[in-house]
Structure 1
Amino acid sequence: MAAAGHPLPDPKAQSSTDKPGPGGLTHLNEQGEARMVDVGGKAVTARSASAEAIVRMSAATHSAVIGGNLPKGDVFSTARIAGIMAAKRTHEAIPMCHPLAIDSVKIEFHTDVATDAQGRAGIRVISNVKCTGRTGVEMEALHAAAVAALTIYDMAKAVEKGMEITGLRLIEKTGGKSGNWKA
C-alpha cells in the first residue's frame, strides 16, 4: 500500500493515456484521482507557444522602468532572465507538467501599450517557447510571461506598490496532435 487505502500502481497496467478519467479528462484516472499523463506513445514533433501578460503602472513608474532609473537596476534584463528560468523550471512549479528539453525561450517587452481606463501605462511581456518533444509548451510560455511580469513588479515596487498584472493568456500554439491555435 502506498498510502492508507491506496494500492501501489501496477507497472504492467494499461497506459494512463488509454483510459481518460471522468468527463474525458486526461489528468484524472478512472477513479477521478490526479495523475500525470503518459506521453510515451505520442509522436515527437516541433512545438511552440507564445503567451503574454501586461503590467499596469503610473506614467512616472513607466518612465522610470524604461529609463533604467530604479534602485534595483536593469528591470528588463532581470525580468528576461527570470522568464527564461521560469520556462525551464515549469515542471517544478506546476503539478503534472512534464520536464521538457526546451530548444529556445524568448522574452520581449513592449512599452508602447495604450493607457487603460484609469490612465495607467503598461508594459506587455511576450514569451515564446519552442521544443521538439511529445508534449506542448503552453504552460512553459504562460509561466515565463507570468514570472517576467512578476519580476517587473518586484523591481519597481519600491516606487509604486499599486501596479497590477493583467491579461495573462496564451496567444498562440503550434504543433502536436491538436494542431495550431491562435487567440
Structure 2
Amino acid sequence: MALTHLNSQGEANMVDVSAKSITARTATAEAYIYMSEATLELIQSGGHAKGDVFAVARIAGIQAAKKCSDLIPLCHPLMLSKVQVDFDVELVNKRVRIETLCKLAGQTGVEMEALTAASVAALTLFDMCKAVDPEMEITGIKVLTKAGGKTGDWQRETA
C-alpha cells in the first residue's frame, strides 16, 4: 500500500478527500500513564492540590481532538460530533488507562483525533502530577478501533 501523504514527487501532500462519500466515522484510542501508588491514591481521594486532575485532563483531551489539524500538519480540520475521554484507575498495575472516542459524519477518519485526545490527556495528567511524581511514564498510545469509510471497520487484535 502506498503512503497517501506523499505526492508523485515524494513531497508532503494533504490528501484530497473532496470526492469521498460522507459516512459516519468513529475511532477509539488508548494510552497509559504509570505512576506511584501514592499518586494514584492522591488523585482518587481528591486530595491533589491542583484539584480534580481527571476533569482537567478530560477537557484537555477534548480540546486536543478539536485542535488536531493545528498540531499534525497534514490532518484535515474536522467537524467532530463527539469526543469522549474516559479514565480507569488500575491500582494493581499502578497506572491510569485513558480511552478516547471520536465521532463525526465526514469524508475522512478520526483516528488521529482519538490518538491526540489520548496523548494530551496523558500529558495533562503528567503535568498536573509531576511535582509529586516526576517518574511517571506514558506508554501504549494506540488506535483500538476505527469504523466507517471506504476501508470499513478495523479492530486491534487483543494479545
The answer, yes or no, to whether TM exceeds 0.5 is yes
Opposite residue 141 of structure 1, the aligned amino acid is: A
**TM-score (structure 2 length as normaliser):** 0.95
Q: Which residue of 2 aligns with 1:105?
A: 83
Q: CA RMSD for the aligned pairs? A: 1.0
Alpha-carbon distance between aligned partners in 2 of 1:114 and 1:178, rounded to the nearest angstrom? 38
Alpha-carbon distance between aligned partners in 1 of 2:86 and 2:96, rounded to the nearest angstrom? 10
Q: Identity percentage over the alignment? A: 53
Opposite residue 59 of structure 1, the aligned amino acid is: E
Larger Rg belongs to = 1
Q: Which residue of 1 aligns with 2:129?
A: 156
Deviation, 1:26, is 1.4
Match of 1:179 among 135, 149, 152: 152
Alpha-carbon distance between aligned partners in 2 of 1:148 and 1:53, rounded to the nearest angstrom? 9
Task: Give yes or no for the alignment of 1:57 onto 2:35.
Answer: yes
Q: Using CA pairs under 8 Å that are at least 6 residues apart, name the structure with larger relative contact order, 1 or 2.
A: 2
Residues 128 and 141 in structure 1, CA contact (< 8 A), matched pair in contact too: yes
Alpha-carbon distance between aligned partners in 1 of 2:52 and 2:11, rounded to the nearest angstrom? 45
Write out aligned runs for 1:8-157 (5 A): 24-112=2-90, 114-115=92-93, 121-157=94-130
Residues 73 and 155 in structure 1, CA contact (< 8 A), matched pair in contact too: no
Deviation, 1:113, is 5.7
Alpha-carbon distance between aligned partners in 2 of 1:152 and 1:165, rounded to the nearest angstrom? 10
Residues 109-138 of structure 1 show CA distances to partners (whole Å, capped at 9, x for unaligned) of: 0012642xxxxx000000000000000000
Residues 47-83 of structure 1 show CA distances to partners (whole Å, capped at 9, x for unaligned) of: 0000000010010011011112112111010000000
Q: Which runs of 5+ in 2 are unaligned?
A: none
What number of residue pairs does the alignment pair up? 156
Alpha-carbon distance between aligned partners in 1 of 2:6 and 2:145, rounded to the nearest angstrom? 26
Alpha-carbon distance between aligned partners in 1 of 2:65 and 2:91, rounded to the nearest angstrom? 24
User: SS in structure 1 opposite 2:122?
Assistant: helix
Residues 85-115 of structure 1 show CA distances to partners (whole Å, capped at 9, x for unaligned) of: 0000000000100000000001100012642
